[in-house]
Structure 1
Amino acid sequence: MTSSSVPPRPALPGSGSPVHDLTVLGSTDTHGFVYNWDYYRDAEYDDPAGNDVGLAKLATLIHRVRAERGDRPTLVLDAGDTIQGTPLTTYYARQEPITSTGQTHPVARAMNLIGYDAVVLGNHEFNYGLPLLEHWIRQLDCPALAANAVHHDSGEPAYQPYQMTRFAPGPGLPELVVGILGLTNPGTAIWDRAVVEGRLRFEDMVACAHRWVPVIRAAGAHVVLVSAHGGDSGASSYGPEMPNENPTAFIAEQVPGIDAILFGHAHQEVPQRFVTNRVTGDRVLLCEPSYWGQRLARIDLSLVTDGTGWRVAGARSALLNTNTVAEDPAVLAAVRPQHARTVDYVNRVVATSVVEMSAAESRYRDTPILSYVNEVQADAVRTALAGTAYGGLPVLSVTPPFRRTAVFPAGDVRIKDVAGLYIFDNTLEAVLLDGREVAAHLERSARYFRRFAPQEPVDPARISDPRVPDHNYDIMSGVDYDIDISRPVGDRITRLTHAGTDQPVVATDRFVVAVNSYRRAGGGNFPAVVRPAIHHDHREIRQLLIDWAQRRGKIDPADFYRQNWRLVRAGVPVF
C-alpha cells in the first residue's frame, strides 16, 4: 500500500445516527517527576504561577475521569520524555542503575499503577543509553512506541511502531478499533549521537506518518491517533542535517487519515488547535499538555456508527490542571522508598563554599558560579590531554547558565546545590577550534541579546530575549572578550584577546575547547563546535562538578574566578 492510498473513512449517516464518544487522556514531558517535589530545594514544588507537578497528581485526575466515564471507551497516553529530568531518575540511572540492581524504575512503577495504554519514546529516553532504555521498556505494562526509530542497517523498526486497541462499546454496537501511532524526535540522532550512532536511525516524522497511517487504517482502525514527541512550531533548534524537530502541524496538514494528535517536546500549553488536512479537508485536532505533569490533556472524540463501523463526527480538547487535586496515595506509596533514597542522596554535603554564589545574573554578567563550571571542565580536559599532541594548546571552556535559581550557599554545599546548577545529563567533550571559529561561536551566543541604542537605559530584565532558553547563552573562559549590545547581530564581539593579555586572538590561533555533548553534537545549532571530538569523557558534567568539590572540600572563587567577559555599549561597560 502506498503512502497516498489511505482507505476512505466509511460514508456513515450523520444526523440520524446515535452519538457515542472516545476520551483520550494525555501527558507529556513529565521528566522524572513522580512526587510534587523539588529535589533542588528539598521542598514541595512551587512556582510563581502556583503549578503542581508529577505523575502522582496526574494519577488523581486520570482516575477521576475514568470513574466519570465508567465503561465508555477511554485511553491514557504519554507523548515522551519521562525517565530523565529529576535527581530521582538520575539516581536510578547512575547511582543505583536499574540495569544492575534489578529494581523497577520509579517511573515504571507509577505509570503501571496509573494504567497507561501506550507511551511514546522522547529524545530524553535515550540519554542513559540503550540498555537502560530497553530495561525500562520491559518493566512497563504498556507498549513503548517509536515508529520512526529504526535499526541503522536494516531500516526495520527498532521499537513497536503502533498499537491497536479494541473496545466493546455496548450491546448491539460494533467493536471500536483505535490505532495509536507513536513518533519520536529525530533530534535524538544529534543530541545522543554517542548512544545511537551506528545503531539507530531516526526518520522524518511526517514521512513516517505517511508510511504507517495507511497501514493502521488497513488493519481496521476506525480512529487513528498520533502521539508525537515533537512540537507544532515547524522550527528546529539544529541545522538542516536532520529532519524537522517540531513538525506536528505538518503531520496534521499533510498526512490524511489522522483524527487527533497528542504531542509534546516543546513544553507549551496548547489546549486545542485545529489544522486542516490538505488532502481530505478534515480538521485534525492537536493538543499539548504543558510539561512536568502540570497539565493533563483531555481529548473527546464524538463517534457515530452505521452498525458496522465507526467514524469521528466531532472533536474537542482541554487541559486539566493538576494543582486542583491531591496526589494519588497509591502512586506515592509505590515510589516512596526510592523517593526517600533520592532525597537522602541529594542532601549529602560535598564541600563548603566561602561565599554565596548565584546564577541569577549569569546570562548577562560574568559570575563566579559559571566560572566554577568552566574551571572544572577545563581542568578535566587539560588533565586528559596532558602529554598528547594537544597538551600544549590553550584550553577554553564553554557553558551556558542552565538555571537562574541555582545557588551555592555560603557554608555547606550539598549535591542538590550542584545538581541544581547543572540540571542536564550532558557529558564532557573537547574539540579543536581556531581563532576565527572561537569568535564565530561567541557571535552565535551574542545574537540573543536585545540591541540597545547608545543612550537607551538598559534594563536587565529586558536584556535577553525571553523566548530564547537560557541554555543558548554560552559563556566562554580562557579568552577575554566584550559583547557590544549596541551593534548588529554578527558584529558584536568587539574585543577578543588571549586570557589576561592585550594580545588579540587571530584566525590562525589554535585552541582546545571543552564543551558539553549536547552542544558539540549540534544542540542549539552552534555550528563552530559541531565537529569530531578530540576527547570524550563519558562521565556527566554534573558528576565532575560534584567530584571536584569533594576532592577539594572548599569552593573559593579566589581559586578560579577572574572576570573575563562583559557586556558593553559603544565600548562602555553596561554594568
Structure 2
Amino acid sequence: MELDQVTLTLLLTSDVHGHVLPINYATNEVVPLGMAYAATHIKRLRKENPNLLLIDNGDSIQGTPLTYHYAKFRNHLPNPMISIMNHLEYDCTTIGNHEFNYGLSMAKKAVKESLFPWLSSNILDKTSQEPYFGFPFIVKKMNDVKVVILGVTTHYIPNWENPLHIEELDFEDAFLSTKRWVEFIRDTEKPDLLVVSYHGGFECDLENGKPTEHLTGENQGYQMCQEIEGIDLLLTGHQHRQIATTINGTYVLQSGFHAQNIGKATITLMRDSHNNWCIKTIIGEVTSLANEEPDEEVLKLVCKNELETQLWLDEAIGKIEGSMLIVDSFDVRLNEHPMIEWINRVQMDAAGVKISNTSLFDNSSRGLPSFVTMRDIVSNYIYPNTLSVLELTKEEIKEALELSASYFRINEDNNIVVNPTFITPKPQHYNYDMWEGIDYTIDVAQPIGQRIIKLSFHQQDQNGPFLVVMNNYRAGGGGNFELFKNKTVVKEILTDMAELLADYLQVHQVVKACVNNNFTVINSNKDSL
C-alpha cells in the first residue's frame, strides 16, 4: 500500500571528541556527557521511530585520555570509538579536522573498522583528485523516500594539522565542493530529501548576517545557506554550538559537543498531485542528555580500555617545588604564571631555541599539583600538538603579539576583560599566546594593532631574525595567525607535547615553579588616573 505521508527522524551527534564515560578525567568526577549517555537516548528513539537516520558530523576519535592512550599504546586493537559507533548502527559520519591528529594511518584504520561510510567530498587524494575516503555521499531508501547525505569538511585543516599527517591529501574549498556536488546530486539522483553534513560552522551572525569572524574560509555555513540552492537540511559542527533554526529556507542543525546533547530533526514528507514526495515540515531540536542513564553495553565495550587508561593516568612522574596550581584562568593571561613559564621552557629545551610561545588551552585547566601524574599532564595539555621552529623577523613577532593582544578589551567600568570575539560564537581562549625569551608590554587602552608598547629580546641581536618554537597548530596559521602560514620550518619536534612535558619531569624529577615576569598587561587609562 502506497503511503501519502511519511515522517523520518534524523539524530545528530558531533564533536564527541572521544568522550564515552560521563567523567572528567582530571578529577574522575561524574559529568553529564559522553556516548554512554547518548547510546541510551539513541536506542530508545530507535525503538520509537522505525524510520531513523543516525549521523555523526565528525571529530569523534580524538580528545580524551581514553583516545590518546588507545592511539599511543593500544592501536593494534579495534578503536573503541568505532566499536561504539558500530554497535549503535550509525548510518554515516563526516570526516572532521581532528580525525587526523593521530596521523593518517590512524584515520584510515578507523575508516576500515567502521561498518558505516565516512563522507567527505572535498578531501581529495593528491594524485587522483578523487575523494580520498571513497564516499562523497550516500543514498538511503526509507519508506520509498530517497534520502541523499553529502559529507563535506572544513578545508582549513592544513592551517592546523601536522603536514606529515596529511601529505597524501588535498583540500578543496568546502563551499565550492558543496555547490558542485549538490547540483550533481539534484540532477542525477533526484532525491526527495537532500542532507548536507558539513563539519564546519558559521562565519556570520545567524540573524543579521554580519560577519562574526575573519572570513578565512574555516566556516562557510552561512554562505552555503545563502548561495546554494537545493539543500533541505544542513547539519553542522566544529564550533561546538547548539543550533536548530532555518536560514534562507534551509533548516540548520548543530548538536553541541562531547555528547552533552543530541540533535534531532523530524522531517514530514507528503505526496503532491504528481505523486512525488515533497517536504511538508522539518522540526529540529537539541536535547540535553543530562537526565539519561549510561548504557551498560557501551560501558562494557570500553571497559578494558578505560581500566588501562586509568592506571596509566595515575602513574607518578615528578614533583613541583612551589605552586603551579591555577586559581584564575584570566589572571594567568594577565600575569605570567609558573605553569605557562614551564611549558615555554620545555618547548625551548626540546627545540634548542631561546624564544617560545604557548597558550592556556582550556579555562578549566587546574595547573599542576605538588606530585604530578600523567592525569595532571594530559588534563592541562589537552591537544596532541607537536612543535615547529620558525624563523621570524622582529616585525613578524610584533604582529603576532598584536594579534594576541586583541584578546583583551576595556569594559564600561574601565576594567580589562576578554574581547567578546574570543567567546562568541565559539570560545577561542587558546588563541591568546604568552611568550618567553622576550620582554613585552601590552597596553589594552590603545587601539587594536597598536598595543605592544614595549618589545625587547633577551639575545644580543635585537634585529633578528629569531628562531621561535610554537605548537604545530599555531605554526600552520591556526587562530588567524596567517603571518606564520607558509613560513620556512627550520626544525620540527614530532613528539607530542604531553610526552615532552612528562619526559622533562621524569628526567628532572623536581621542577621549581617560578616566573621571570617578562610580560605585563596594563590599562594606561586606569593606571594614569
The alignment's TM-score, normalised by the length of structure 2, stands at 0.91
- Equivalence for 1:265: 238
Whole-angstrom CA distance in 2 between matches of 1:220 and 1:184: 23
C-alpha displacement of 1:236: 8.9
- Contact residue 360 and residue 430 of structure 2 kept, 8 A: yes
Large movers: runs of 4+ above 4 Å: 234-240, 459-465, 571-574
Where 2:332 maps in the other structure, the secondary structure is coil
Whole-angstrom CA distance in 2 between matches of 1:41 and 1:350: 17
- Equivalence for 2:415: 458
Structure 2 unpaired stretches of 5+: 205-210
Whole-angstrom CA distance in 1 between matches of 2:160 and 2:102: 12
**1:69-468, aligned counterparts within 5 Å?**
69=49, 71=50, 73-96=51-74, 98=75, 101=76, 103-159=77-133, 160-167=135-142, 169=143, 175-195=144-164, 198-217=167-186, 218-234=188-204, 240=216, 244-270=217-243, 272-276=244-248, 283-305=249-271, 309-359=276-326, 360=329, 361-382=331-352, 395-451=354-410, 457-458=414-415, 466-467=423-424
Where 1:431 maps in the other structure, the secondary structure is strand
Give the AA of the match of 1:105.
N
- Contact residue 427 and residue 537 of structure 1 kept, 8 A: yes
Give the AA of the match of 2:432.
Y
- Contact residue 236 and residue 245 of structure 1 kept, 8 A: no
C-alpha displacement of 1:130: 1.2
- Contact residue 368 and residue 377 of structure 2 kept, 8 A: no
Where 2:341 maps in the other structure, the secondary structure is helix
C-alpha displacement of 1:462: 8.1
Are 1:40 and 2:26 an aligned pair?
Answer: yes
Change in CA separation of 1:374 and 1:213 when aligned onto 2, cut-off 3 Å = same
Output the aligned Cα RMSD.
Answer: 2.3
Where 2:477 maps in the other structure, the secondary structure is coil
- Equivalence for 2:472: 517
Whole-angstrom CA distance in 1 between matches of 2:466 and 2:416: 35
Where 1:323 maps in the other structure, the secondary structure is coil
Where 1:312 maps in the other structure, the secondary structure is strand
C-alpha displacement of 1:551: 0.8
- Contact residue 263 and residue 287 of structure 1 kept, 8 A: yes
C-alpha displacement of 1:129: 1.3
Whole-angstrom CA distance in 2 between matches of 1:191 and 1:463: 23
Q: Say which is worse superposed, 424-433 or 357-366, in terms of deviation.
A: 357-366
Are 1:476 and 2:435 an aligned pair?
Answer: yes
Whole-angstrom CA distance in 1 between matches of 2:247 and 2:422: 29
- Contact residue 258 and residue 284 of structure 1 kept, 8 A: yes
Give the AA of the match of 1:438.
I
Change in CA separation of 1:572 and 1:457 when aligned onto 2, cut-off 3 Å = closer
Q: Could you list the per-position Cα deviations for residues 390-424 of structure 1 after superposition, in whole angstroms to 9, with x for gaps in the alignment?
A: xxxx6200001112332344431111111122111
- Contact residue 414 and residue 526 of structure 2 kept, 8 A: no
Where 1:436 maps in the other structure, the secondary structure is helix
Q: Say which is worse superposed, 562-571 or 329-338, in terms of deviation.
A: 562-571
Whole-angstrom CA distance in 1 between matches of 2:527 and 2:323: 25
Whole-angstrom CA distance in 1 between matches of 2:377 and 2:29: 16
Give the AA of the match of 1:527.
E
Give the AA of the match of 2:399.
A
Are 1:30 and 2:16 an aligned pair?
Answer: yes
C-alpha displacement of 1:43: 2.4
C-alpha displacement of 1:356: 2.7
The structure that has the greater radius of gyration is 1
Q: Could you list the per-position Cα deviations for residues 484-526 of structure 1 after superposition, in whole angstroms to 9, with x for gaps in the alignment?
A: 1111111111111233x9x8x85x2221101100000010122
Give the AA of the match of 2:163.
A
Q: Say which is worse superposed, 213-222 or 258-267, in terms of deviation.
A: 213-222
Q: Percent identity?
A: 28
C-alpha displacement of 1:441: 1.3
Structure 1 unpaired stretches of 5+: 1-16, 46-51, 170-174, 277-282, 383-393
Are 1:19 and 2:10 an aligned pair?
Answer: no
1:568 aligned residue (506, 522, 525): 522
Q: Could you list the per-position Cα deviations for residues 414-472 of structure 1 after superposition, in whole angstroms to 9, with x for gaps in the alignment?
A: 1111112211111011011122222111111111210369xx55366789954452111
C-alpha displacement of 1:197: 5.0
Q: Say which is worse superposed, 209-218 or 539-548, in terms of deviation.
A: 209-218
- Equivalence for 2:207: none
Give the AA of the match of 1:287.
L
Whole-angstrom CA distance in 2 between matches of 1:345 and 1:465: 34
Change in CA separation of 1:409 and 1:58 when aligned onto 2, cut-off 3 Å = same
Whole-angstrom CA distance in 2 between matches of 1:316 and 1:366: 49
Whole-angstrom CA distance in 1 between matches of 2:94 and 2:27: 30
Whole-angstrom CA distance in 2 between matches of 1:540 and 1:262: 32
Whole-angstrom CA distance in 1 between matches of 2:524 and 2:164: 45
Give the AA of the match of 2:309.
T
Change in CA separation of 1:529 and 1:253 when aligned onto 2, cut-off 3 Å = closer
Give the AA of the match of 2:154.
N
- Contact residue 126 and residue 188 of structure 1 kept, 8 A: no
- Contact residue 162 and residue 386 of structure 2 kept, 8 A: no
- Contact residue 406 and residue 417 of structure 1 kept, 8 A: no
Are 1:487 and 2:446 an aligned pair?
Answer: yes
Where 1:363 maps in the other structure, the secondary structure is helix
C-alpha displacement of 1:362: 1.6
C-alpha displacement of 1:309: 3.8
Give the AA of the match of 1:458.
N
- Contact residue 484 and residue 571 of structure 1 kept, 8 A: no
Q: Could you list the per-position Cα deviations for residues 337-365 of structure 1 after superposition, in whole angstroms to 9, with x for gaps in the alignment?
A: 11111111111111111223134222221
Q: Could you list the per-position Cα deviations for residues 13-71 of structure 1 after superposition, in whole angstroms to 9, with x for gaps in the alignment?
A: xxxx93321110001000000111111222222xxxxxx211111111111111112x3
- Contact residue 325 and residue 369 of structure 2 kept, 8 A: no
Number of residue pairs aligned between Structure 1 and Structure 2: 511
Where 2:478 maps in the other structure, the secondary structure is coil
Give the AA of the match of 1:251.
M
Change in CA separation of 1:255 and 1:452 when aligned onto 2, cut-off 3 Å = closer
C-alpha displacement of 1:154: 2.5
- Contact residue 416 and residue 523 of structure 2 kept, 8 A: no
Where 2:409 maps in the other structure, the secondary structure is coil
Where 1:180 maps in the other structure, the secondary structure is strand
Whole-angstrom CA distance in 2 between matches of 1:457 and 1:249: 35
Change in CA separation of 1:237 and 1:193 when aligned onto 2, cut-off 3 Å = farther
The alignment's TM-score, normalised by the length of structure 1, stands at 0.84
